[in-house]
Structure 1
Amino acid sequence: MPEIVFAERAGVGADGHPRPTEDHVVVLDNAVLLLDGATSSDPSLPPGGWYAERLARRLADDLRTTPEADLTDVLTTAIAVVTAENELRPQRSPSSTVAAVRWLDDRVDALVLADSPVIGFGGFGTDGVDVVSDDRLAGLRRRGMLQTGADVRRRRNAHDGFWVAEAVPGAAAHAVKRSWRRADVDAVLLASDGVSIGVDQYRLFDWGEALATTRADGPDAVLDAVRTAEKQDPDGERWPRPKRHDDQALVLVDFAACSRV
């Protein structure tokens, strides 16, 4: 069994006031889930954290029942069930990212839907690092195509937009997936965008350095580094962002831990 450690920290709302985290981490016997509920500006809708918690619970239940099932199929079913149980409608539903890692005797599987990446370390990828990321949302932001709430709704779960867990079960088919030979995997990180921003935008460290810090000082040390940078840029002048501090979640699944003991 790999060693698993994680840290979570609430951010602030778009109004700058504290509120509960909308990130959810679930650790199972052979899998880890990380979901990041999207903050909604529509008070008539349930919050993203409400949706992420329900979807995470359903995913966990299904993976406990069928631990070797195809991850796309499991996610498709979970979205459909949560949609039906709560009478959710496309474009009028809260949404969430999904990052999942599942290990079997011969392989490790990863699935990413929207912007919560999974990073594999071991005998594969470039320099032993394989970043499993869904860059469609970031690409739209860079091109200025998500300026308003209406822009986001129009491009959510659309072929000219981005894909996310919401009230469209078919979105699961657009997830980014990877499978590695288990013997090749040293460790895996799962991160919400409140952590990955430290790599992708702030350039505070790369993923190899994030792994080393997590192993040496715990995942909270990585969260601290991101928060420290944000406190030094409170108004978003250096790093424009919608919220001063986003929710943060970071999970390390360390397959090499036993060999280091």
Structure 2
Amino acid sequence: MPEIAIAERAGVGADGHPRPTEDHVVVLDNAVLVLDGATSSDPSQPPGGWYAERLARHLGDGLRAAPEADLAEALTRAIGEVSTENQLLPRQSPSSTVAAVRWLDDRVDALVLADSPVAGFGGFGVDVVSDDRLARLRRRGLLQTGADVRRRRNAHDGFWVAEAEPGAAAHAVRRSWPRADVEAVLLASDGVSIGVDQYELFGWPEVLAIARTDGPDAVLDAVRTAEKQDPDGDRWPRPKRHDDQALVLVDFTSGGIQGLP
């Protein structure tokens, strides 16, 4: 069994006030799940955290019952179950990212849907499993309004995310590594990965080194410190001063990784 270390921290709402985290972490016997519920601007919808919690529960139950199931198929079933159970309609429902890592005797599988990445480390070097479709749309200025987001959500000219369309799971980014080659894996919500992708505070090898040496909370601290130094988003424009944060280290070795910090 790998050693697993988890750090979580709530962010603030769009109004700047504290509120419960919408990130959810599930640890199973042979898998870890990180889900990040999307904050909705529609008050008539349940919050993203409500959806992420239910999806995490259904996906976790499915993988407990079938530990070797195909991850995308398990996610497809879980999205369908939550949608049916709660009478959710496509493009009119809350949504969530999904990052999943599952280890078997012969391999380690990773699945990423929307912007909660997974970074694998081992004999293959550093392999970041990320879904950049949302980021590309934002860079092109195509997600300016709530209507833009709804129109491009789970659409072939847009991005894919867990919502009320089970078929979205088939569009997840996936990776499998030989089990013997994997030494550690990180799963992060975008409140952490923004420190790599946008703030450029560190690279993924440095995130691993900090998480191993000082614990995952130290990575969260570094991101929060940077945000406090840019309270109005002048250097790093962002919708919220502090997003929810979740970081999980799955360490398959007792020592450091050769060739990495």
Structure 2 length normalisation: TM-score?
0.97
Secondary structure of 2:96 counterpart = coil
- CA distance in structure 2 between the partners assigned to 1:42 and 1:123 by the alignment: 46
**Pair 1:79 & 2:79 matched:** yes
- CA distance in structure 2 between the partners assigned to 1:130 and 1:190 by the alignment: 12
More displaced stretch, 250-259 vs 151-160: 250-259
Matches within 5 A, 1:45-194: 45-124=45-124, 128-194=125-191
- CA distance in structure 2 between the partners assigned to 1:229 and 1:73 by the alignment: 39
Could you tell me how far 1:167 is from its partner in structure 2?
0.2
Q: Which amino acid aligns with 1:9?
A: R
- CA distance in structure 2 between the partners assigned to 1:26 and 1:199 by the alignment: 23
Consecutive unaligned residues of structure 2, counting only runs of 5 or more, are: none
Deviation digits for residues 168-210 of structure 1 (CA, Å, limit 9, x no counterpart): 0000000000000000001000000000000000000000000
Alignment partner for residue 238 of structure 2, among 228, 232, 241? 241
What is the RMSD of the two structures over their aligned residues, measured on CA atoms? 1.0
Percent of aligned positions that are identical: 84
Secondary structure of 1:257 counterpart = coil
Consecutive unaligned residues of structure 1, counting only runs of 5 or more, are: none
Q: Which amino acid aligns with 1:39?
A: T
Secondary structure of 2:247 counterpart = strand
Q: Which amino acid aligns with 2:202?
A: F
Q: Which amino acid aligns with 1:174?
A: H
Could you tell me how far 1:33 is from its partner in structure 2?
0.2
Corresponding residue pairs, total: 257
Q: 1:24 maps to what in 2?
A: 24
Q: 2:249 maps to what in 1?
A: 252
Could you tell me how far 1:235 is from its partner in structure 2?
0.1
Could you tell me how far 1:114 is from its partner in structure 2?
0.1
Where does structure 1 differ by over 2 angstroms across 4 or more consecutive aligned residues?
A: 257-260
Could you tell me how far 1:259 is from its partner in structure 2?
8.9
Could you tell me how far 1:123 is from its partner in structure 2?
1.1
Deviation digits for residues 10-47 of structure 1 (CA, Å, limit 9, x no counterpart): 00000100000000000000000000000001100000
